[in-house]
Structure 1
Amino acid sequence: MASFLIFSVQVLLLISVASASHFTAGTVRVVPREKHLDGSIQVDIHFRETYRFCYNYFDWTCWSGNCGNTLETKEVPSNCPRSYHLMTVDPDGDRVICRYGTIINRECASCNQPQGFDLDEINCVLHYRSTSYTGTYGFELVVEDFPRTTISLISTNGTSTQRFPLPAHRYKRGINQHLPITHIFCQIPLQFSVLVDSPAPSCTEGEYLPRFVYPTPSHGDHLNAQVNEEFEIKVKAVADYSIVGDIIFTGPLTTTKHRIAQGEFNIRWTPTLHQLGDQVPICFIAEAAFSYQQYQSEMRCVWVHVEHAKANVICNETSMTVELEKAAFKTLDEDHLRLNDPSNTACRLHSNGTHVIGFIPLNECGTMIKEDDENLVFSNEITTFEDVRDIITRKHLLEVQFSCQYPKRGNVTLGFTVHRDNRTITEKGFGTFTYNFEFYPDNLFGAMVNPSLYPLEYDVGEKIYMQIEATSSVNNTVLFVDSCSASPYDNPNYQPTYPIIENGCTLDSTVVIYPPSHNKQFRFSIDAFKFIGLHDQVYISCSVILCEAGNLNTRCSRGCVPPTYNHRRKRAALIETGAHFISQGPLRLRSTPERESSVTGLNLNVAFIAGCLLAAIAMICGVMIHRFKRAAVRYQPLSTTEQ
C-alpha cells in the first residue's frame, strides 16, 4: 500500500508559454499499473521535454525518493500580471500542496524566491505581479500530498508507519517550509523558469494577448475519452490587433493538432487499451504575432479520463452505423434516446437484445460536418431526453458522441452524386405532406430536369432554375421559404455556407422570384457560381414552412423580416408547421469556354511579368506562409467576366 501511495500523485509540469524562438517545456506523470506478489509495483513514467533546437536529447536520472526533475520556461510581458495554475491532482483525494524548496542540494540549488512573484501554496498557483527588469527567473518548488485522515502504511516486511493530516493552522497559513515525513505521502520537485519579456501594448486579453472563446474548454475541466475512439478538443482564440497563428500543446505521445481556420484548432488523441482508467492532462496556449513580437494567451489544462468505448461506429461512404451496448449503461431507457435531429422520423434508433443501433446518413439526422486541410469529419451524438418537446435540461443526461473521418481525396463524395428524393413529413393539424425540390431547364418550369442526369453541370454565370412545391391533403395552406443557402456538401449544418435567402429576404443580387401556379409553390433562379477553393460541387438547402392561408399571425404572412427586426414569438400550434430542411444537388460548376480561351490567349510578355511578380511576392511572404497556413475557404459568386 505504501508503494502505491508514493506514486499516486500525478503532477503535470506546465507547458511553456514561451515563443517559438526560445521554447522549452516538459511534463512528467507517474501512473501505478500493477502490484506484484513480491510487493513491488509496476508504474508508467510519462516524460516529455521540448528544446530550443531540433535534436535528440534525453538525460533524466531518477534517484530514490526524488523522481521528476525537469526544467521549463514560461513567458509573460513585464507589464502584465498573470497567474500560472500548476495542474496537480491525486486520484485518492489526498491534499496536494506546492511550496518553495528549502533543503539545499536536495530540494533546491539556490533556494531563492524570485521577487515579483507570489506562490499560493494551498491552491498551487504562481502569481506574477511585476518585476524591475526583464529576463529569466528560476523556480525550485516541491509538490507534496498529505492524507486527509490518519492512515497506517504496512510494508511487505510487516512493519507499519502512520501518516497524519496536515495541521489546520499550517493549512490556512501555507507551508513554506519542510514538514516532518509523518505528514507527507509523496514529494516531487517541480523546477521551471519564467521569462519576463518586453512590455505588451496592452494587457487586455483579446487585444494583443490572445483570448480563448467558445468552444474552448475551461481550465481544469474533466473530459471523457473512450478507448480506441478519437478524442477531440476544440480550441479557438481571438485577438483584435495581433494574428493568432498557432497553438502550443502538451499531451500523450500520439496527440496531434489540426488547424481548422485562423485561430481555430482541434487537438486529437486516440487512447489505447493500456491507458484505460488513466487521467491524462492536456495543456495548451494560443500564440499570436504582431510585427516581430510574439504574445501568448493564458495556459489552459484539462484532465481527460479514459473509459471503455461506449459506442462502436462503422463508417462507409454514405452513412454511419452506431452500436451502443446496453450493458454499459445500467439506467439506459432506449425509448428516451435520440440523435441531433429528433424531428426526422427516418432517424430513429432501434434495439435488439444487447445493443441500441442507429443507421445515420452522412447528410441527415442532424449530422454535423467539419473540415480541415486534409479531412472531412461527420459527427453526431446520442442523447437522452425526458420529454420530446424539451429544448433545455438541468439534469445530467447521457451523451455519446461518435464520428467518422474521411480523407478529402477519398470516396466520401460518391454518396452525394444522386438526385435527392422527396421528403414526407407528418405533423399534427397538417396531416401528412410532401416537399418536392427540383431543378428546371428554363423559366417556364415545364418538365423538371431528369434525375438520371445528376450531378447537373452548369457554366459559371448560367441561370439555375429551381422550384419547391408542397403537396398536402390540407387545402387551406401556403408554402413559405424562410432561407436557402449553398454548401459544398449536402448538409444544412455545414459551416460556413453561402446565404441566398435569409429570414425570407433575398441576399444574393442575382436571385429572381417567379410567380407560382398555386400557394404551395415557390419558384426562383440564381446565377451559377463556384466556391473559391478546392470544392467542385454545390448543394442548395432550404428551410421551408407550411402555414394556414390568410392567417396574419403566421410566419408566412410576415414575409421578409430583416435581421434587425427583433420580434420573438412562440410557434402557435395548428396554424403553421415547424421549419423543415430540404436540399437538392449536386451541381458541378465549370468555367465557360470564353473564360478559358481568354486565359490561354494572354500575351506571353504579360504572363512572364506576372510570373516574376508572383515569384517575388512568394519570396517575401515565404516566412509568413511557413508559419501561418492558409485560412479557411471563402465563398462568393464568380461572374463570367472575372479573369
Structure 2
Amino acid sequence: MVCRFKLSTLLQGLTLLSLVTSHEASSLGLTVHVTPLKSDGGNTVRAHFTAIAPDPCPDLSGLCSEGEDCEVYKTPLPFTGTKPNSGWCVRQWHKTVPSKYSATISLGSNTEFYVYLNAGPTVRANSGRLNQPAYVALPPPLRARVNCPHHFHLSVKDLDGDKVQCRFAREDEGECVSCPQHSFIELDKARCMLSFTGKAAAGQYFIYLVAEDFIPAPRINYITDGSALSSVPVHLSLTVEESSSSCIDEPMATGSTPEEDSVLFVLPFQEVKFTANFISQPESVAEVAVVGPPALYRTGFTSIGPLAKMDMAWVRSENNLSRLLPICFAANTQSLQSEPRCIWLYQREMRTLPAGTELKCENTEMSLVLPITSFKDIKLEELQLNSPTCPVIYNSTHLTARFSLDGCGTKAVHAGTELIFTNTLQSVRPYTMVSREPSLILPLACRIPETQVKGPQYKITLPTEKETFGEIRVWIEFHLPGEGPLSKYTRSPRFRSDFLPPVRSRRQAETESVTNSSAASNSTDGGLGSRISQLDLHLLTNCSVARAEMIVSSCIESETEDFEESTPILNQGCLASNSTLEVVTEETKSKVYRLDLSSVGTQGSTMYVQCTVNLCISTMPSQKCPDLCTRAISQRTLIGSVFTSSYTVRSGPVSLVVTTPAPTTASNTAITTTTKTSSTPAATTTTASATTTSHAPEQASSVATGVILTSISVFLQKVVLY
C-alpha cells in the first residue's frame, strides 16, 4: 500500500512521510480522550493521546514545541508486551488542539499515523454545558486465529450519559487515509462490538473506527436526526495467527478479577488496587498485557501451570489526566489470548473548600480546622474519620480534628517520588438507612517530598528469592529404574493415581509389584546396542529449605538439542500421555517420572529433555503448595504461596540404547559427567556401572546439571508502594 499525504498538519516539526506498507506505518492501537476547554467556549480541547507503537519503542522528543500546552507523560513503569511477536510499547501525551483537528503524527522512525477528531463545540440544551465526547478504552494489540471466529467488545463511556456508537472511519470524510474495510471484520455499531469471522490469512491487519455520542432519545421515539454530537478516532490492530489448538481454548479471567466495564471511583490521593486472575489449560500464560494510565503499578506477576495473576494499583496524585481513565488487560500465551477486559477509574470532581480551611501536617500528626457555615443540611454528628474511634469536635462555626499519621485509619501511599498520608472525613450512616440528605466526603492528605522521605519504615521490602530459598540450582538426571539418588522409591515404585485415567489406574496395581530385578531386566531388550525400554527422569535441586516444594509445569523431549520439534511429557503439570508415570516419593524438593521409551516420539538413539520448574513455600505451615494437576486448583493457591522464578533446565544427550556391556561383578554406581556451562547445550558425556542381580548388560544413564536458560518471571521483588 503506497499512500501520499497532502494534508495540513498542526504538529510543528513533524515531517510527512510516504507510507510504504501499513505494517510499517500504522500504530498498533490509538485512542484520543478529549476534554473541551471552557476558557474559549470549547473551540480548543485538551486531547489525551494513547498510542501503541511496535518495538523498538519510539522516542517522543518532537511532539511538543516550546511554549505550547503539551506534555509527554513520563513512563517509570512503561506498558510493554511481547505478543504479537514484533513486541510493542505504549506512548502517552496530551496536547491542546482545535476542536476540529487532523494531523499526521510520527513516533520515532517506524510509526506514523493520521488522526482526525471533531469535538464540536456543542452546548447541550439540557444542561447548558459543553458536550463531553465519548471515551473509548484501548485494549492491548488484539490476537485471533485462522478459522476461529471471535468477538471483541470495545468498552465505551460517556460523562454526559449519551448513547455511544461506533462505525468504520470513512476516507471520503477525511477521517482516515487508505483505510479499506476488511471482509472478515464485522461491526455491531450500537454495541461497539467487532466480530472476526475467522476467514483471514495469517497476518497483521489494521482497523480504523470512529466513536460518536448521541443524545439518547425516548424509547417511543423511533425517529432521530442521526447527527452526532462529536466523533473521536479509534485505531486497532488484529494479528491473525496459525494455530492447531481448539477455538475455545483461550485463557479466561477468573476469581476476583474486576468485571468488564466496572467503574472504580477515586478520591484525591486515594489508592485503588485489584488483581487480574487467569486460568489457561492448554498453555501457560506468558504475560498479562496492560494498557492503562501513567503510573499504574503492576507487580506480582505469577504464572504457574494453568494459573496466572497480576496485581495492579494506582494512586491519584495531582495530574492533568482526563476524568475517566481506562485500564485494559489481557492474558497472552504463546499462541492464545484471553478476551481483553477493561475497567474504568473515575476521578471524582471536588468542590473548592470554604475560606478559612486549615490542614496542618506535623511530624507525627495532622490537624484540621474546617468552617462549617457553608455546609448546609450536613449532619455533623454523622461525620467521622477512617476510624470511628478518633474524635471529631465541632461547634456552631467550626469543626476540628487532630489525628496521628500512624493511627485513626491514616494510610501511607506513594505517588511518584512523594510519600502521602491520607485520611477521609465523611458522612457515615447505618447500612440500613436510605437517605436523600446531602453527605460530605473530604479527602485529607499530607504530602512529604522525596528529600524528606527517610527511613525503612516508608518501604515494605519483600525478601529476595536468594534470601528465601538460598542459592538455587536445578538439574536433570536420568537413571534406570531402581537406580539413582531416589532408588529406594523407584525399586518398588508406587505411581500417582490421580494423574492417571481410569484404565491406567487399574493397571497400576500390576506395575507397583515390579521388583528391582524385574524392573532392570525389563528396561532393556537385549545386549549391547539394544534399545532401552524404560528410564526414570529425575528433577533435583540443592534447596535446603525444609518447607520448600518443587512444582513442575512442563517437560518436553526432542531428538535435537535445539528443540525445534518436540513432544510433551508433562503439560500444565499433568502427564501428557500414557508413556509417562509419576513415581510417588516423600521428597518434596524433587520429582521422578518413569518414561516408557517404546511410546515416546523419538526414533533415534538419543533424546534431549527440557523442563520448567518452580520452587514454592506455602505461607501457612498447615497448607501445601498448589497441585497443578487437580480439579481443586484455584486462584487461592497462588495467593497462599511464595514462588521462585520459573527455571527452564535442559539435559544433555540421553542415550536410548545400551552403550557398554555389564560388569562381571557388582559394583557401586559411579557417575562421571561433563556438564553444560552455557545456554547453548554442549554434549554431555556420561558413563555408569550399574549393579543388578541378573548382571544384565549395562544401559547408559545420562546425568546433566541443569543450566538456567530463562528466568520467565520473578515473583519475589522489592515493592516500594504498599
Shorter-chain TM range is 0.3 to 0.5
Tell me the TM-score normalized by structure 2: 0.41
Q: Return the structure number with greater helix share.
A: 1
